[in-house]
C-alpha cells in the first residue's frame, strides 16, 4: 500500500518522561494502552495512514525512546519533522513548567514552519489529581501560537482529534 500514499509526513512526540507520549502514540496507531510505565525501548516510530480530503497521507510519528530522561534528544530526531506533539501531564505541574524549555528546543532544532500541538494529557484524572488548570494550557498555547487540547490516552479522549489536527494542519501548510 506504500506506493499508493500521496504524502509521507514525519512528526515527533516530545515532552517530559512519563507524561504519556508512548501511550498516546500506541492509542493512535494501534488503539492500545499500557498501564505499566515501561519506558519506550526499541520502537522508534509508528505509522498510520490517514485520508485528508482526497489524499492519502502516511503519518510517521517518532517517539523519544526514553531519551527525554537524559536530555539526549538530538537534532536528527527533529530533522524533517513537519509536526510536533508536545505533551505534559495535567497531574504533574513540573511537566507543565518545563514546556518553555521544550518549545525553545523545538524552535531551535525544528523546522521554522513546524506545526505544534500542545497536549495536556491524563485528562481522565482531572477530578482527583489535576495540578494544571485547562485555562493555563490554553493561555500558553495562545501566547506561543500553537494548538491545544487536553487528552487522555487511557480513556481515549481527544487522541484522534489531536493527531488529526496536527496532520491536517501539516497538509494545509505544505501542500
Ligand atoms: P512517556 O514516558 O511520556 O512515553 O509516558 P508513557 O506513555 O510510558 O506513560 C507513563 C505512565 O502514565 C504509564 O503508567 C501510563 O500507563 C500512564 N498514562 C499514560 N497516559 C495516560 C492517561 O491518559 N491517563 C492516565 N491515567 N495514565 C496515563
Ligand atoms: Mg515513552
**What is the ipTM for the molecules in this complex?**
0.99
Distances in Å between the Cα of 40 and the Cα atoms of 20, 21, 45 are 11, 9, 10
Q: Residue whose CA is closest, atom 9 of ligand 1?
A: 20
43 has a pLDDT exceeding 70: no
**Which ligand is the nearest neighbour of the Cα of 121?**
1
> What's the pLDDT at 71?
56
Q: Which of 88, 76, 155, 156 is nearest to 116 (CA)?
A: 88
Which atom of ligand 1 has the smallest separation from the CA of 23? 7
pLDDT in tens, 20-39: 999 999 999 988 888 776 66
Q: Does the C-beta of 125 come closer than 6 Å to ligand 1? A: yes
Check if 10 has its Cβ closer than 6 Å to any atom of ligand 1. no
pTM above 0.95, yes or no: no
pLDDT confidence tier of residue 63, bands split at 50, 70 and 90: very high
Give the 3-state secondary structure of 90-103. CCCHHHHHCHHHHH
Contact 116, 146 (CB under 8 A): yes
Distance of CA 97 to the CA centre of its chain: 17
DSSP 40: P
Residue with cell 485528562: 123
pLDDT band per the 50, 70, 90 thresholds, residue 67: low
Dist CA 30 CA 24 (whole Å): 10
CB under 8 Å to 76, separation ≥6 — which residues? none
Q: Are 52 and 167 in contact (CB under 8 A)?
A: yes
Ligand 1, residues 88, 94, 153, 160: which to mutate, most atoms within 8 A of Cβ? 153
- Which runs of consecutive H residues, i.e. helices, occur in 80-144? 93-97, 99-109, 126-129, 134-144
Among 29, 1, 7, 3, CA closest to 168: 7
- pLDDT higher than 90, residue 54: no
Neighbours of ion ligand 2 (CB under 5 A): 21-22, 40
Amino acid at each position: 500500500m506504500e506506493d499508493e500514499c500521496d504524502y509521507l509526513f514525519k512528526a515527533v512526540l516530545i515532552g517530559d518522561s512519563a507524561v504519556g507520549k508512548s501511550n498516546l502514540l500506541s492509542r493512535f496507531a494501534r488503539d492500545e494502552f499500557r498501564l505499566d510505565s515501561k519506558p519506550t525501548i526499541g520502537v522508534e516510530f509508528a505509522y498510520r495512514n490517514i485520508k485528508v480530503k482526497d489524499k492519502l497521507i502516511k503519518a510517521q510519528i517518532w517517539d523519544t525512546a526514553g531519551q527525554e530522561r537524559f536530555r539526549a534528544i538530538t537534532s536528527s530526531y527533529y530533522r524533517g519533522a513537519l509536526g510536533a506533539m508536545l505533551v505534559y501531564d495535567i497531574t504533574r505541574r513540573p511537566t507543565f513548567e518545563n514546556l518553555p524549555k521544550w518549545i525553545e528546543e523545538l524552535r531551535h532544532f525544528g523546522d521554522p514552519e513546524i506545526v505544534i500541538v500542545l497536549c495536556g494529557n491524563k485528562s481522565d484524572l482531572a477530578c482527583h489529581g489535576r495540578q494544571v488548570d485547562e485555562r493555563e494550557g490554553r493561555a500558553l498555547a495562545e501566547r506561543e501560537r500553537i494548538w491545544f487540547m487536553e487528552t487522555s490516552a487511557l480513556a481515549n479522549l481527544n487522541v484522534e482529534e489531536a493527531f488529526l489536527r496536527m496532520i491536517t494542519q501539516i497538509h494545509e501548510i505544505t501542500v
